[in-house]
């Protein structure tokens, strides 16, 4: 796998080899040998174990909790619920201002009162000396409920959908109603598509279960080893909850075993573990079960969409009306950008979008890779395919006919857009010339063969980040940043940026992350790490060079050339500081430090977005092609080949970037063909809470995925030229597969997942 991946990248002509080369993951060895420590692997002295008890009803109140048997069970230290939980000071604060509730509602508060908002809600936690004793204790807790009528059925309740509160408050909110051009243009369009699309609830199932080890090191000092996507956002949240100065809360997430948005929010199980640790006065470990992952850490919400698309007979879009209703909980309004790309992707003069949410008695959803954009792209890119077929125009041609050279939504030029290059590369690699317009025309024995495509886009969202860099006399470079690495290989990419900036060999560079005490970083989310932290790495490396330059130049003599050397031209080669293009100016780092009587130099540099943000529209783009075979008798679906091409700006780490694209394609195959969490509405309870019932792609389901990058820098977006990759890896994959299935069978399936029963 690694070998072929490397080869594939090395053979790729697009790739500018002089810039960044493929590097194995810097933490790969730690991960495969088990030396990497995850949140549930910190063996603190006195560690005890917590197991959650979940509600068995979807709505109502808890009448009574009988915890006597559990408390008497061997090894049980405490049974904690709303009856006896210590008060979380931040919870009390928010309750003191009922006249100003947060506009989007608020996260579920652990053990706050006796209300039950969904089936599977954590209502008690049992703490014991071992995991098994805690599990047994939890099985003995008896709860009596006062049941109320619940609503979990999306279809049955869709007419109760509402405009999100943030849009009511602010008509400019991205989830407010949007209109450009003629509102009624669809009615008069010569060719029309009018269709509804449904995406079921999809659940976060990363390899590592959500886990926290909570440790009160003192009465007012909290350390958590927590599976989160942001150490400092989590630090801020817990500092607020426990009314502590942020510096008293330490959040460690050195390794994260896969996260796709589930760690972008803090959840009740985390506070439950912190409460428990405080009450039993010992460090507490709490690991969710796979079943609990379905109800406790968010999910991609069930979403209904409707698209009305109008075009002229010669293929010019004249109208798109796109409506969406997404599910949320009764206590917290979750919204996402399902409709954003419809406003900017194609050159239709007339566009209306309308976003609504439906509050049900379920847990709060959260972003799940590509988030709303991936959901929206299923509808938009399916509709584009339907329209192209109606017009008898090749789907790529149709997209090119409606290509935009500037952003019609923000009315700004793109910083960069190389989507045409993606179309060209993908078309050739998938063998698009074999595709026939008429469905069912290409066969391979009993199998119907189809080709499909889908476009993806996601905002290049650079944020603020800071990096500390330290160079020692041996020429080792150490860097630190609070950012997490949920899997993309952040450390690897940052080492490559530092090596590229300084000339220092990658094996002499260390990038430490995942600790709230390191310099500033937000969440690893929204494809924003390389373009936020990368520039801070660059800035820190350049600041070190400036320090060295001054130090060298002040020695005078033959080294005076350093005073006027450009920062970019200063390089570190084999422990020597050099000026590019000059043979004479060379200084040994060790000698220089000795002369100046220092052992190391250090700096911390912050980097943030500049005014280009207001002058350009910044998006990454992707194109996904699929060849799909459908068995003509059984409806069995085989994805035979996937080709992905991304315009993500500069590709810093070709190997891990290709990994991300393959992972995104895999997620897209799951979305298109398998994933669906189903509630039994009689009980308001999920019936698909394991991998036997909730299917994700396995190796046999995923064909060879060919990955290509345009790899042209976008230096308007940020100094490293990267636009982000994580989301566009999945956005557009599901419609590419759905469109290929239509091309194979003539069946247009608008409700995911596309299972064989829908095709026969």
Closest C-alpha among 422, 421, 387 to residue 402: 387
CA separation for the pair 463, 606 (Å, rounded): 11
The structure tokens listed for 487 are 């899997």
Token code pair at residue 625: 């092609």
Closest to ligand MOS by CB, 333 vs 373, is: 373
Interface with ligand MOS by CB under 6 A: which range of 79-87, 167-175, 178-186, 257-265? 257-265
ω into 753 cis (within 30 of 0): yes
Selection from 751, 749, 710 nearest residue 728 by Cα:
710
Burial of 201 (0-12, 13-18, 19+ CB in 10 A): buried
Judged by CB under 6 A, the residue of 526, 649, 663, 753 near ligand MOS is 526
Asked if 264 is part of the footprint of ligand MOS (rule: CB under 6 A), the reply reads yes
Cα 96 to Cα 709: distance, rounded to the nearest angstrom: 53
Whichever of 283 and 522 has its CB closer to ligand MOS, that residue is: 522
Cβ nearer to ligand MOS, comparing 55 with 229: 229
- List b or e across 72-100, with b for residues whose CB sees 16 or more CB atoms inside 10 angstroms: ebeebbbbbbbeebeebebbeebeeeeee
* Closer by beta carbon to ligand MOS, 107 or else 246: 107
Nearer residue to ligand MOS within complex by CB, 372 or 649: 372
Q: Using the rule CB under 6 A, is 525 a contact of ligand MOS?
A: yes
State the number of CA atoms in the 13 A half-sphere of 461 facing the CB: 13
Closest approach, Cβ 262 to ligand MOS, in A, equals: 8
Say how many residues touch ligand MOS, by CB under 6 A.
10
Strands 600-607 and 619-631, bridge-based pairing = unpaired
- What is the helix (H) or strand (E) element at residue 275, kind and residue range? helix 268-280
Q: Which is nearer to ligand MOS, 367 or 414 (CB)?
A: 367
What single DSSP character describes residue 720? T
Of residues 277 and 734, the one with the C-beta less far from ligand MOS: 734
Is residue 260 within the footprint of ligand MOS (CB under 6 A)?
Answer: yes
Interface of this chain with ligand MOS, residues 354 to 413, rule: CB under 6 A: 367-369, 371
Instruction: Pick the stretch among 73-81, 162-170, 256-264, 734-742 that binds ligand MOS (CB under 6 A).
Output: 256-264
Q: How far is CA 439 from CA 314, 449, 533, 607, 748, in A?
A: 21, 9, 47, 52, 11
Please pick, from the candidates 261, 459, 491, 635, the single residue that binds ligand MOS as defined by CB under 6 A. Answer: 261
In the complex, what is the shortest distance from the CB of residue 150 to ligand MOS, in angstroms, rounded to a whole number? Answer: 28
| DSSP labels, 27-47 | THHHHHHT-SPPGGG---TT-
DSSP per residue over 536-564, as a string?
HHHHHHHHHHHHHHHHHHTT-GGGGHHHH
Alpha-carbon distances, residue 215 vs 36, 137, 221, 518 (angstroms): 20, 22, 9, 19
Q: Least distance to ligand MOS from the beta carbon of 102, Å? A: 21
Is 727 one of the catalytic residues?
yes
Question: Judged by CB under 6 A, does residue 151 bind ligand MOS?
Answer: no
CB of 526 to ligand MOS, least distance (A): 4
Q: What is the number of other CB atoms lying within 10 angstroms of the CB of residue 38?
A: 20
Looking at the Cβ atoms of 90 and 487, the one nearer to ligand MOS is 487
Which residue, 385 or 485, has its beta carbon nearer to ligand MOS? 485
Beta carbon nearer to ligand MOS, 453 or 725: 725
Cα separation, 295 vs 290, in Å, equals 10
**Least CB distance from residue 525 to ligand MOS, whole Å?**
3
Using CB under 6 A as the binding rule, whether residue 624 contacts ligand MOS is answered as no
Query: What is the C-alpha to C-alpha distance for residues 532 and 720, in angstroms, rounded to an integer?
Result: 9
User: Closest approach of Cβ 209 to ligand MOS, in Å?
Assistant: 17
* Shortest Å, Cβ 528 to ligand MOS: 8
For the chain, the distance separating the N- and C-terminal CA atoms, rounded to the nearest angstrom, is 36
Provide CB contacts within 8 A for 622, sequence distance 6+. Answer: 422, 455, 456, 457, 644, 645, 646, 647, 648, 728, 729, 731, 732
Smallest distance from ligand MOS to CB 107, Å: 17
**Distance, CA of 68 to CA of 338 (rounded, Å):** 48
Return d(Cα 484, Cα 513) in angstroms, integer. Answer: 6
Length of the chain in terms of residues written = 760
Q: How far is the CB of 351 from ligand MOS (least distance, A)?
A: 25
| Contact between 164 and ligand MOS per CB under 6 A | no
Closer residue to ligand MOS (CB): 526 or 735: 526
Token representation of residue 365: 């959803």
Out of 54, 381, 675, 727, the active site residue is 727
Is 141 in contact with 79 (CB distance < 8 Å)?
A: yes
Q: How far is the CB of 459 from ligand MOS (least distance, A)?
A: 11
CB 195 within 8 A of CB 750: yes
CB 334, min distance to ligand MOS, A:
12
Catalytic site positions:
727
Using CB under 6 A as the criterion, which residues of the chain lie in contact with ligand MOS when the complex forms? Answer: 229, 260-261, 264, 367-369, 371, 525-526
């Amino acid at each position: 796998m690694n070998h072929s991946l490397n080869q594939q990248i090395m053979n790729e002509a697009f790739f500018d080899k002089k810039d960044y080369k493929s590097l194995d993951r810097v933490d790969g060895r730690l991960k495969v040998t088990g030396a990497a420590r995850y949140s549930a692997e910190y063996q603190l002295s006195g560690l005890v174990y917590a197991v959650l008890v979940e509600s068995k009803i979807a709505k109502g109140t808890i009448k009574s909790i009988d915890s006597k048997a559990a408390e008497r069970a061997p090894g049980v230290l405490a049974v904690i619920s709303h009856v006896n939980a210590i008060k979380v000071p931040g919870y009390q604060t928010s309750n003191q201002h009922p006249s100003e509730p947060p506009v989007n509602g608020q996260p579920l508060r652990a053990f706050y009162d006796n209300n039950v908002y969904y089936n599977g809600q954590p209502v008690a936690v049992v703490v014991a000396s071992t995991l098994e004793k805690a599990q047994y204790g939890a099985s003995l807790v008896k709860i009596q409920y006062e049941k109320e009528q619940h609503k979990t059925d999306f279809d049955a309740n869709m007419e109760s959908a509402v405009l999100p509160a943030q849009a009511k408050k602010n008509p400019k909110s991205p989830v407010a109603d949007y209109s450009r051009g003629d509102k009624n243009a669809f009615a008069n369009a010569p060719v029309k598509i009018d269709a509804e699309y449904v995406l079921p609830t999809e659940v976060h199932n990363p390899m590592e279960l959500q886990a926290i080890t909570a440790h009160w090191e003192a009465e007012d000092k909290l350390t958590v080893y927590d599976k989160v996507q942001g150490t400092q956002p989590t630090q801020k949240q817990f500092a607020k909850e426990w009314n502590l100065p942020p510096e008293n809360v330490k959040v460690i997430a050195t390794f994260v075993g896969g996260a796709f948005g589930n760690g972008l929010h803090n959840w009740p199980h985390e506070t439950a573990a912190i409460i428990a640790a405080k009450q039993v006065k010992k460090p507490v470990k709490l690991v969710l079960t796979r079943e609990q992952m379905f109800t406790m850490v968010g999910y991609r919400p069930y979403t209904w969409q409707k698209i009305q698309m109008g075009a002229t007979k010669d293929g010019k879009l004249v109208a798109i009306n796109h409506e969406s209703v997404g599910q949320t909980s009764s206590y917290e309004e979750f919204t996402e950008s399902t409709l954003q790309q419809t406003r900017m992707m194609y050159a239709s003069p007339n566009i209306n979008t309308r976003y609504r949410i439906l509050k049900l008695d379920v847990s709060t959803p959260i972003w799940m890779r590509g988030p709303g954009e991936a959901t929206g792209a299923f509808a938009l890119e399916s509709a584009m395919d339907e329209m192209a077929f109606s017009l008898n125009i090749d789907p790529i041609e149709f997209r090119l006919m409606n290509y935009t050279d500037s952003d019609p939504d923000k009315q700004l030029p793109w910083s960069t857009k190389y989507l045409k290059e993606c179309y060209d590369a993908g078309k050739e690699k998938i063998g698009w010339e074999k595709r026939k317009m008429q469905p069912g025309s290409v066969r391979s024995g009993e199998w119907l063969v189809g080709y499909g495509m889908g476009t993806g886009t996601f905002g290049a969202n650079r944020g603020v980040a800071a990096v500390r860099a330290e160079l020692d006399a041996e020429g080792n470079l150490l860097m630190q940043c609070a950012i997490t690495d949920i899997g993309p290989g952040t450390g690897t990419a940052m080492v490559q940026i530092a090596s590229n900036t300084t000339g220092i060999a990658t094996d002499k560079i260390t990038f430490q992350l995942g600790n709230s005490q390191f310099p500033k970083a937000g969440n690893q989310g929204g494809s924003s790490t390389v373009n936020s932290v990368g520039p801070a790495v660059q800035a820190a490396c350049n600041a070190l060079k400036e320090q060295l330059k001054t130090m060298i130049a002040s020695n005078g003599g033959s080294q005076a050339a350093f005073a006027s050397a450009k920062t970019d031209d200063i390089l570190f080669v084999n422990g020597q500081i050099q000026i590019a293009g000059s043979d004479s100016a060379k200084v040994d780092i060790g000698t220089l430090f000795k002369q100046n009587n220092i052992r190391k130099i250090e700096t911390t540099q912050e980097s943030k977005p500049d005014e280009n943000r207001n002058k350009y529209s910044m998006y990454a783009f992707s194109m996904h092609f699929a060849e799909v075979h459908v068995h003509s008798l059984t409806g069995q679906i085989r994805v035979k080949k996937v080709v992905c091409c991304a315009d993500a700006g500069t590709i810093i780490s070709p190997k891990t970037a290709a990994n991300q694209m393959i992972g995104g394609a895999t997620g897209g195959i799951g979305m298109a063909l398998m994933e669906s969490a189903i509630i039994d509405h009689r009980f308001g309870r999920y019936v698909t809470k394991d991998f036997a019932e909730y299917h994700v792609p396995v190796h046999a389901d995923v064909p060879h995925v060919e990955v290509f990058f345009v790899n042209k820098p976008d230096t308007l977006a940020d100094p490293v030229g990267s636009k982000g990759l994580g989301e566009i890896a999945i956005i557009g994959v599901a419609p590419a597969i759905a469109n290929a299935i239509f091309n194979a069978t003539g069946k247009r399936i608008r409700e995911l997942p596309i299972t064989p029963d829908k095709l026969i």
